[in-house]
Structure 1
Amino acid sequence: MAARTAPMEQPAAPVVEMHGITVEYAGVRVLDSADLVLRPGEVHALMGENGAGKSTLIGALTGTVPIVAGRILVDGVPLTPTGVARSRAEGIATVFQESHLSPHLSVAENIMIGHEVRGRFGIRWARCRERAAAALATLGIEDVDLRTPLEALSPATKQLVAVARAIVLEPRVLVLDEPTSSLDEAEAAQLLGVVRRLRDQGVAILFVSHFLEQVFEVSNRMTVLRDGRVVAEYCTAEVERAELISKMIGEDIDALQALHSQRLSHHYAGSSQVALRATSIGRHGTLEPTDVDLVRGEVVGFAGLRGSGRTELARLMSGVERADRGELWLDGSRVQLRGPAAALRHRIAVSSENLRNEGIVAGLTVRENIVLALQALRGWTRPLSRAEQEAVVDTYLDALRLSHEDLDRPAGELSGGTQQKVMLARLLATRPHVLILDEPTRGIDIAAKLDIQRRVAKLAGEGVAVVFISSQLDEVVRLSDRIVVLKDREKIGELSNGPGVTVDTIVEMIAAELDGPAAGDAD
C-alpha cells in the first residue's frame, strides 16, 4: 500500500489585509499602493531603511495617518480607520519605540491607564491590579511588583510593561515598532521570548526592527519597503540575508557582484599620524566596546544598516553622547569630551544625520548659520565683525558653490542639498582636524551630492581625518580609505579599501551568520 502524503497545512485566514495603501503629504506620495497581510499566530517583519515608509504604513493601519487610496480589511470586513480608538476597537494595538509611559506612576497604573476598571464609587484599583497582573503573567513576568514606580525598572522591564499595556485589551494584532532599540542583548532576548509566546497564543504580530539577526530569529514572514513601495515579500526561512539587504538598499545581487570599488583621481593615502583614537569606547545598551583609529589625511567609512551602531559610534567619538566605557586619545593625549562644544574646542567637528533638529538653525540666515560654530568657538563676548564674517563666508561660497543670493535668506527655506552645504561650510570654518559627517548626502540631488563628495576627498588631501557615514554603500566604497563595518551595535570588521573591495564585500560581511567565522580585519 502506498504511503499517504500528509496534506499541506493551509495558512490561517488573515486578520488584517491592506491593499493598495497610498499616502500623500503636501502632494508628495510617500506610500504608493502598498500591500500587507497579517495572519494569526505569525510574526510578520516589516523591513526597510530609514524613509522607506514603514512608519507611514503603521500609521495607516492604526488610523493616525490618512490614506488617499486603498482599503483595509479586518476579518474580511472593510475598516475605515479614523484614529487609534477605532483601531483598538478592532483589536489592533501598538507599542512604539518611545513607549510614552509615565515614569512616576506605578506599573499597574501604567498598564491600566485609559481603560481602568470602574464601579459606582470610581476606579476599582484592586480589580485593575488583577488585570495588570494577568497581562504580565501572559508575558511570563509575574515577579514584577505592580506598585513599583516605573522609573525604578530596567529598560527591558519598562518595554515589557508597554507591551502589557497593549495586550491588556486582548488584541488580535500587535504592532511592535523597534521594541528592542534601547535594550542590551540579554534584555532583547527576554523581549523576543515574549514575542514568541504571544505568537503561539494566536496573536498576529507586526515586528519592525533594524536588527537583522532578531528579525531572522523571531519572524515567519517579511515584507520589504523601499521608497514607499513594497519591493518584496519573503518567507523568512527561505530568504538569504544578502538578498534581503540588497532589496532594502535598492541593488540587485547581480549588480552588487558586478560593482568594483572605484579609486578616484582625488583618492589620497593617509599619513601614519593618528588624530583621534577610540579604545574600547562604548555605552551600555547603545554600542559594544569598539576600537577605531582616525588617521590624518584619511577617510574612514562607517558602514552598516540603520541600527547597526554606525551613528552611535560617531556620536560617542565626537562627544555628542557620553561614553560610559573606554577612552579617547587626541594626538596622543587622553581627552574627555563632555559635549559637542568641548569637541569643537579640540577641533573635532560633527554633522548629525538629523540636520533639521541638530544642525541647521532654520530661522537664521545662511550667513548666520555659516559663522555660528566659529562664533561659538571664539566666544560670544568677542563677536565677529562684519568684515570677519564676510571673509569666512566668501571662503566657502565658491568652494561649495553656494549662491550669493541665498546669503540673507532663512536657511530653512533652502533645498536639502543647500542646507547640507551650509552645514559643511559651518564646520569647515572652524578648521577642524577631525570631521565626522553622518549622512551628509542623504535626500539631496546628484549635483549637490557630488559637490559634497569632492569636498570630502579634498579635505582628506589637506590632512583632515574624516569619518563618512552613508546608507548608500557605493558612496562609502568610493570615498573611503578604510571601512569600519558594524552590525547590531558592534564592530564586526574593518576593511582596507582597494580594487578588491566592493559593495558586495560589505553586504556579505553584514549578512554573515552569527555563528559563522568571525569577521576580522581584511587587507
Structure 2
Amino acid sequence: MYALEMRGITKEFPGVRALDNVTFQVRKGEIHALLGENGAGKSTLMKVLSGVYPAGTFTGEIIVDGRPRQFRSVKDAEEAGIAIIHQEFALVKSMTVGENIFLGREPTRSGVIDWDRVYTEASRWLAEVGLDNVNPRARIEDLGVGQQQLVEIAKALSKRMEILVLDEPTAALTESETETLLQLLQDLRSRGVTCIYISHKLEEVFRIADRITVLRDGRTVGTWDARELDEDRVIAHMVGRELSQRFPPRKSAPGPVVLAIRNFSVRAPDNPARLVVENVNLEVRAGEILGIAGLMGAGRTELVSSLFGGYGIAEGEIWFEGRKITIRNPRDAIRHGIGFVTEDRKRSGLVLKMDVKKNMTLARLDRVVRWGFLDTDEEIRQTGRYVEELRIRTPSLETPVSNLSGGNQQKVVLAKWLLAQPKVLILDEPTRGIDVGAKYEIYEIMNALAERGVAIIMISSELQEILGMSDRIVVMHEGRITGQFQREEATQELIMACATGRVRV
C-alpha cells in the first residue's frame, strides 16, 4: 500500500505549465528521492502536497493512506501527517528550542501554558533526533545550522508526522552534520516514517534512497529502485540527454598576473584580536581559474569577502595590474574591476522582489544612466543581451527573480557582473543548490570568461568541481594556505591532506 499517491497533478501559472499530469507514488516507510533539474517542478509538486497551493488551484488527486484528500491550507496537510522542512528553516531565532517545537500548540494547565511540560517533552523529542546534549531552553540563534535542522525534524516528529519531506536538507551542513542527518533518516525509516528526499547531491541519494523519481520540465520521467540506477543514468534522465563529461574541456593559457595579495591577514569584525585569515600570499592571472579548496571554517569566504571590501579588518598588500591599491569597501573593489558572486545568492546576491533587468544592472547603474536619468531602452538592450547569451529562462525581463529557478537566479547574478565587465571575478560556491545540467552551463560561462582574459577565483566545497575546473589549486586550513598545486598534480587525497592541516606549500 502506498503512503502517498499524487495522480495527474497539473499546475499552471500565467503563461507557464509548471506541472503537467505528474504522477508520484511513495511507499510506507521508505526514503524516496525526488530528483530533477532546477525548474523541473519538484518544489511546485511539494507545495501542492503541503497545501501551500490549495485544492482548487491545481487539478489531480492526492491520496494519503488510501484516502483521497483535499488540502486547503498547510494546517490541513499537517493534520494528515505531512510536514515539509525547507532549506530556509521555519524557526524563530530569538525563541527557545522548546518554544519553537510547540509553537502554536503549547500544552496548557488551567488555561495557562505549562512550561515545565513544554521543556520536558521538548527534551524527549530532542533525544529522538540525537540532540540529547541540547538544552531545550537554549535559543535557536545559539545553535549551529546542523542542530537547527534537527530541531526542525524534532518539531515535525512531535506533531506525529508520518510523511516527512526534506528539501535540500544538507545544503548548508558540514560533513559531520550531514552524517548525523543521514543516519537519523535511516533510523526514522526503521521506525516506519516515510521520507521524501529532494537533493542535488547524488552521492547522498544513492546512500540512503530506496527508490528514485525523476521529474523533467514538469512531467514524470519515471520511478526506479535506487539499485537499478547509477549517477550517470540519473543525470541522463534529469537533463534528457547523456552528459559524456561533467566538466567542459578548455585550453588553459594564463596571461600576466592581474591580482596579487601579499602578507594578507583578516581580523574578525566581532573580535579584532582573532585572525580568521593569516599571512596569505597568492596571485591570479588573466585567463586563469584559481580554485580555493578547504573545509568549512577554513577562512576561504572570509578571505575573498575582505578582498572585496565587505568583511573584517584587513592587513597586508593588494596589487592590481602591477599597482598597489586600497580596497575599503565593495564600491572600491568594483571601481578597480573586481566582481563577487557570493555563496548565498538569495541573501546577498539578489534583490528577490526586484525584476531580472534591475538585478542585472545593480552593480553598474552608470552603464544604463544618461544625464542622471535611467535610460530604459539601454537597460533593456544590455540586460536582454545577457539573457540571450547566458540562456536565462525567464518569461520576461520584468519577471521578479524570486520566480526563477535556482540555476537561472545564479545566471542573473553572473549577468550582473558580466555587465560590470570585471577583470577579476570571485565565485564563492558558484553551483551550490544547482542541478547538474545548470552546473554544466555555469562551467561553460566560466570557461568563456577565462578565454576572454578574466581572472577567476573559485571557492568550492566540491572536490570534483575544484579538480575539474581549476588551472591551479590553493588549499586553506584555519586561515592559512597549506597547499598549492597545478591542475595536473592535484588529487582528492592531496587536497584533503592539506585541508586537514598537513602543510605542503
* Alignment TM-score > 0.5, same fold: yes
Aligned to 1:198: 188
Aligned pairs for 1:320-469 within 5 A: 331=320, 340-350=330-340, 358=349, 373=364, 386=371, 412=398, 423=416, 426-428=419-421, 432-435=422-425, 457=448, 463-466=453-456
CA shift at 1:227, angstroms?
2.3
After superposition, the C-alpha distances for 1:174-195 in whole angstroms (9 at most, x for unaligned) are 1112222222111221222221
The correspondence for 2:257, drawn from 273, 294, 297, is: 273
Matched to 1:298, the amino acid is G
Aligned to 1:162: 152
Question: Is residue 231 of structure 2 the alignment partner of residue 247 of structure 1?
Answer: no
Matched to 1:348, the amino acid is I
Quote the Cα distance in structure 1 between the aligned partners of 2:83 and 2:301.
30
Contact kept in structure 2, 1:278 and 1:293, CA below 8 Å? yes
* TM-score of the aligned structures, taking structure 1 as reference length: 0.64
Quick one: structure 1 residues 49 and 276, their matched pair in 2 at CA, closer, same or farther if it must change by over 3 Å?
farther
The correspondence for 2:48, drawn from 60, 84, 87, is: 60
Matched to 2:212, the amino acid is M
Matched to 1:269, the amino acid is A
Quote the Cα distance in structure 1 between the aligned partners of 2:225 and 2:317.
44
Percent identity of equivalent pairs? 30
Matched to 2:22, the amino acid is A
Considering only aligned residues, what root-mean-square deviation do their CA atoms show, in Å? 5.7
Quote the Cα distance in structure 1 between the aligned partners of 2:247 and 2:135.
57
Matched to 1:189, the amino acid is E
The correspondence for 2:63, drawn from 73, 84, 108, is: 73
Matched to 1:349, the amino acid is G
The correspondence for 1:298, drawn from 282, 287, 290, is: 287
Moved more, 339-348 or 162-171: 339-348
* TM-score of the aligned structures, taking structure 2 as reference length: 0.66
Contact kept in structure 2, 1:270 and 1:297, CA below 8 Å? yes
Aligned pairs for 1:299-318 within 5 A: 300=289
Q: Which runs of 5+ in 1 are unaligned?
A: 1-12, 283-288, 303-310, 377-383, 404-409, 443-448, 470-479, 485-492, 498-508, 515-523
Aligned to 2:171: 181
Quick one: structure 1 residues 102 and 33, their matched pair in 2 at CA, closer, same or farther if it must change by over 3 Å?
same
Q: Which runs of 5+ in 2 are unaligned?
A: 267-276, 292-299, 389-395, 435-440, 460-468, 474-483, 497-505
Quote the Cα distance in structure 1 between the aligned partners of 2:262 and 2:14.
44
CA shift at 1:14, angstroms?
1.1
* Count of residue pairs the alignment pairs up: 433
After superposition, the C-alpha distances for 1:54-87 in whole angstroms (9 at most, x for unaligned) are 2111111111024522211011111112111111
SS of the residue 1:180 aligns to? coil
CA shift at 1:164, angstroms?
0.9
Contact kept in structure 1, 2:355 and 2:400, CA below 8 Å? no
Aligned to 1:34: 22
CA shift at 1:427, angstroms?
0.2
SS of the residue 1:100 aligns to? coil
Contact kept in structure 1, 2:284 and 2:290, CA below 8 Å? no
Matched to 1:56, the amino acid is T
SS of the residue 2:60 aligns to? strand
Quote the Cα distance in structure 2 between the aligned partners of 1:365 and 1:434.
23
After superposition, the C-alpha distances for 1:263-310 in whole angstroms (9 at most, x for unaligned) are 7xxx8833153536899999xxxxxx9x998854416498xxxxxxxx
Quote the Cα distance in structure 1 between the aligned partners of 2:52 and 2:38.
19
Matched to 2:120, the amino acid is E
Contact kept in structure 1, 2:352 and 2:400, CA below 8 Å? no
> Rg larger in 1 or in 2?
1
Quote the Cα distance in structure 1 between the aligned partners of 2:77 and 2:181.
24
CA shift at 1:205, angstroms?
0.7
Contact kept in structure 1, 2:471 and 2:486, CA below 8 Å? yes
Quote the Cα distance in structure 2 between the aligned partners of 1:24 and 1:495.
50
Contact kept in structure 2, 1:369 and 1:411, CA below 8 Å? no
